[in-house]
Amino acid sequence: MKTRIISAAILLPVAIIAIVLGDWPFTLLIAVAVLLAGMEYTQLVRRKGYEVSLVWVWLITLLWLADARWELGEGLTLGLALLTLLVSGYQVLRRSKVDPTASWALSLAGGFYLGIGGAYLLKLRLGVDGLWWVLTAIPAVWIGDSMAYFVGRRYGRHKMIPAVSPGKSWEGYAAEVVVGILTGALLGMLWPRIAETALTLNWWRGMVVGGVLAAVAPLGDFFVSVIKREVGVKDSGNLIPGHGGAFDRIDSLLWTGVLACALLELLL
């Protein structure tokens, strides 16, 4: 627990500074996080014998991030098409004897999953009132997740999906959703009082965003747990003492940007 708290105390200020500065600092933060997660993802699936190349995972991920920054338009479509063909040719030339089709699919899937998740976090920050919506969405997920951890450890009796993640309980999940709703509502009310330019935020929009994210984003955590369970490991890596790997830390956030952007399209 002590190691977990120390790691959070070091990383949290770095993340907040990057979020507040936005632009390239935030882009760099997201890029580093998803590329490290891509490295861990590749190492995970290789444990099952799949010959997944980190290069392809990274290139697809970076293309999605580039589109979030510069709106590539047709360039994104063409780039993804070319990378799909290149990954296909790579598998043919490699002449892999261990499920080459699965290796091909996992290379594409890893790049798409991490790239889309990272890209929409960038889109959220670069959008209307992006700073304030990021400072509403991410805390709702982080604080809710922390509350689920503490309540689950203390009061958790009914397991959600024990075959996938034995530590997750319905009691912890209920606490996560309630805290997500309250956090979203409070921040949605607070930020417009601090920044007069935060015109699109209010308590009920913050409540909706916080509640939906707290309810749905944990599926990102479960999905990474599915991968780890399949390959027989507890954590995606050991990069962050007390927290596991980068993939472990951003599992729910990979859903956060997509869900938040979708909700804001409906709410604004």
Question: In this structure, is residue 231 part of a structural domain?
Answer: no
Burial category of 129 from C-beta neighbours within 10 Å (exposed 0-12, middle 13-18, buried 19 and up):
buried
Q: Are 28 and 122 in a shared domain? A: yes
Residues 198 and 265 both lie in one domain: yes
**Range of the structural domain that residue 95 is part of:** 1-126
> How much is the pLDDT for 2?
67
Cα–Cα nearest to 122, from 263, 266, 254: 254
Residue where a domain stops, chosen among 78, 95, 126: 126
Beta bridge partners of 244: 240
CA distance 56 to 58: 5
Q: Give 36-102 as a DSSP string.
A: HHHHHHHHHHHTTT----HHHHHHHHHHHHHHHHH--THHHHHHHHHHHHHHHHHHHHHT-SS-HHH
Token duo for residue 32:
């580093």
**Cα torsion 145, 253, 161, 4: sign:** negative
Q: Give yes or no: residues 143 and 267 share one domain.
A: yes
Secondary structure class of 12 (helix, strand, coil): helix
pLDDT tens, per residue, the chain with 268 residues: 667 777 778 888 999 999 999 999 999 999 999 999 999 999 999 999 898 999 999 999 999 999 999 999 999 999 999 999 999 999 988 877 778 899 999 999 999 999 999 999 999 999 999 999 999 999 999 999 999 999 998 998 999 999 888 889 999 999 999 999 999 999 999 999 999 888 999 999 999 999 999 999 999 999 999 999 999 999 999 888 777 899 999 999 999 999 999 999 999 9
Note the pTM of the prediction, 2 decimals.
0.94
Is the residue at 90 inside a domain?
A: yes
Burial of 32-67, coded b for 16+ CB within 10 Å and e otherwise, reads: ebbbbbbbbbbbbbbebebbbbbebbbbbbbbbbbb
Q: Same domain for 199 and 84?
A: no
User: What is the enclosing helix (H) or strand (E) of 134?
Assistant: helix 130-155
Residue 60: inside a domain, yes or no? yes
Domain end point (choices 126, 145, 160): 126
**Counting runs of H as helices and runs of E as strands, what totals does the chain give?**
11, 0
d(CA 115, CA 119): 6
Around 178, how many Cα atoms within 13 Å sit in the side-chain half-sphere? Answer: 9
Number of domains the chain contains: 2
Q: Are residues 121 and 12 in the same domain?
A: yes
Amino acid sitting at position 48: K
Query: Which of 76, 104, 126 is the last residue in one of the domains?
Result: 126
Tally of CB atoms within 10 A around 92: 11
Amino acid found at 205: R
